[in-house]
Structure 1
Amino acid sequence: MANSQFSLKGRVALVTGGGRGIGAGIAVALAQAGAELVIADYTMALAEEGCASVKAAGGKATALQVDVRRPESVKAMIASIEMQHGRLDVAVNNAGIVSLGSVTELTVEQWDDVLDVNLRGVFLCTQAEIDLMRKAQFGRVINTASIAGKTGFPHLSHYSASKFGVIGFSNAVAKEVAKEGITVNALCPGIVGTGMWRGETGLSGKWALPGESEEASWERHQASFLPQGVAQTSEDMGQMCVFLACAPHVTGQAVAVDGGFSL
């Protein structure tokens, strides 16, 4: 991303859920492109962890605590950004959670938890971010969805519902603000080796064949799901976010970074 057309120098960028995993990778990529970062996460400790990743890569970052499910918390986050920076140019609404269970096993609480963070949280953040971006008639909103928002996966009906919702929401809002200098897109990660997939409680553990190790299951799913045969990385997601943050005429899209899995 050294090409000057992908420069975010002078821009202020927010990443929610930026403490670890995909969010941290996105934050580092935006910082390396020149943006000054605000890392927001559910706890200040996680937000500070994300800031440390950005600073280790030579970038600037500040930490904020936010509960994306609560309107007052989201409004306080945006107010703090406006007070400290006077603007918000790029917002990556990445905070998300996942749990696993068949449709008959899922509890109402599991359904509500996932929808509250993954979809309600994206709505509340986008709403507040656009209010601030309108003052400058410029903004880039990137909402993290998933390939599970393009095709359903077993044991993830609630997660898929939330991510299908993020894609539809992003497309609709993009059309609302299309003439205001603001773009809105959805990022759809494929198979990334974070908590949703890895470990005995992740998908590679849950979907392991009898006698198959979690590691072997992880390798098998990469080979079977992905035409390229290899998982994607948080750095891959960061590169796409830099592109979307610099692309004035790409809006309303659900962009998959998934090694050729989806159309």
Structure 2
Amino acid sequence: MADLTGKVALITGGGTGIGKGIAERFHGMGMKVALAGLDQASGAANQYFGRNMGGYTAARDLAETLGEGAVAIEADVTDAAQVEAMTAATVETFGRLDVLVNGAGVITAKPIQELEEADWDSVLGVNAKGTFLTNRAAVAQMRAQGGGGCIVNISSIAGKLGVPFLTHYCASKWAMIGFSISLAKEVAKEGITVNCLCPGIVGTQMWTLLSKAFAQPGESEEVAYARSIETFIPQGVPQTEGDMADMTAFLVAAPHVTGQAFAVDGGASH
């Protein structure tokens, strides 16, 4: 693997779950990491059973734990001005931007007749619009540096497979894949790679919500989670933050891999 020591990565959603796992891996490889997060949801829909998501607080705690070469930035990826400021703060702190990992994401789970505009706007706003805004800012900075760089947008196997009660979430994740493939072709000759990571079932706060939403009558969250793994994952085991960090680290070090959507899902998707 290429030596990534000193490379600078901006990771949205970098304080929790998959983003945290990637941040810890990158920092352990000698990279500098800017961890972006948001505590209070800006949209009308609740996320993870409340408005306070704790993303920035978690990013700040992780940056303190990692120490030198790590910084936390508070930013809402649905707000263009905040995304520009987040990118500028990364460059101001570390001097450049080599890698964007766009991991900020939200979800609600509802049948179509109960799905409200607020749910659609919130999920599409963070997952799809957030991808557009963060990628646009990253490409501009990479171009200003003379080209070269890597973008990894964290989609989902829901971006490859339809899932009941997640129509809006699936739409957002399919959008991320189409966007990433298109952008990859647009910037290919500038040495900027753009790929998607599509996780399967990882035991993050998102799956805490889904386990509650998908639980059958009288079924505990733990049993619902285990049933989801048995139903959807051929290997029969959940994926881990470390699995996602493995693929992301590979993509950052692979200059000729671009325009792809890689599933790390234990064989769940084709």
**Which residue number in structure 2 is paired with residue 114 of structure 1?**
123
SS at structure 1 position matched to 2:194:
strand
**Which residue number in structure 2 is paired with residue 170 of structure 1?**
180
**Which residue number in structure 2 is paired with residue 228 of structure 1?**
235
SS at structure 1 position matched to 2:23:
helix
- Percent of paired sites with the same residue: 49
Contact 1:6–1:33 under 8 Å retained in 2: no
Further displaced range: 29-38 or 207-216: 207-216
Count of equivalent residues: 256
Deviations 1:42-67 (A, max 9, x none): 14973353354366467630111111
The answer to whether 1:195 aligns with 2:191 is no
Deviations 1:128-166 (A, max 9, x none): 000011123111000010000001111100000000000
Pairing of 1:1-263 with structure 2 (within 5 A): 5-43=1-39, 46-47=55-56, 49-53=58-62, 56=65, 60-134=69-143, 135-198=145-208, 202-263=209-270
Matched residue type, 1:182: I
The verdict on how the C-alpha distance between 1:172 and 1:47 changes in structure 2, with shifts beyond 3 A counting, is same
Kindly state the Cα deviation for residue 31 of structure 1 after the two structures are TM-superposed. 1.2
In structure 1, list runs of 5 or more residues that go unmatched: none
The verdict on how the C-alpha distance between 1:206 and 1:49 changes in structure 2, with shifts beyond 3 A counting, is closer
Mapped partners of 2:189, 2:202: distance in 1: 34
Q: So what's the TM-score if we normalise by structure 1?
A: 0.92
The verdict on how the C-alpha distance between 1:222 and 1:59 changes in structure 2, with shifts beyond 3 A counting, is farther
Mapped partners of 1:216, 1:64: distance in 2: 37
Deviations 1:43-100 (A, max 9, x none): 4973353354366467630111111111111111111222222210010011110011
SS at structure 2 position matched to 1:153:
coil
SS at structure 2 position matched to 1:193:
coil
Kindly state the Cα deviation for residue 226 of structure 1 after the two structures are TM-superposed. 0.6
In structure 2, list runs of 5 or more residues that go unmatched: 41-53
The verdict on how the C-alpha distance between 1:48 and 1:113 changes in structure 2, with shifts beyond 3 A counting, is closer
SS at structure 2 position matched to 1:184:
strand
Further displaced range: 43-52 or 128-137: 43-52
Contact 2:32–2:94 under 8 Å retained in 1: no
Contact 1:31–1:54 under 8 Å retained in 2: no
Mapped partners of 2:94, 2:68: distance in 1: 16
Mapped partners of 2:55, 2:214: distance in 1: 29
Say what the alpha-carbon RMSD is for the aligned residues. Answer: 1.7
Mapped partners of 2:181, 2:31: distance in 1: 25
Contact 2:155–2:177 under 8 Å retained in 1: yes
Q: So what's the TM-score if we normalise by structure 2?
A: 0.90
Further displaced range: 183-192 or 56-65: 56-65
Deviations 1:15-61 (A, max 9, x none): 00111111111111111122100001114973353354366467630
Mapped partners of 2:213, 2:55: distance in 1: 27
Kindly state the Cα deviation for residue 6 of structure 1 after the two structures are TM-superposed. 4.4
Contact 2:87–2:137 under 8 Å retained in 1: yes
Contact 2:63–2:71 under 8 Å retained in 1: no
The verdict on how the C-alpha distance between 1:51 and 1:36 changes in structure 2, with shifts beyond 3 A counting, is farther
The verdict on how the C-alpha distance between 1:247 and 1:17 changes in structure 2, with shifts beyond 3 A counting, is same
Mapped partners of 2:73, 2:146: distance in 1: 23
Deviations 1:103-128 (A, max 9, x none): 11100111001000000011000000
Contact 2:6–2:30 under 8 Å retained in 1: yes
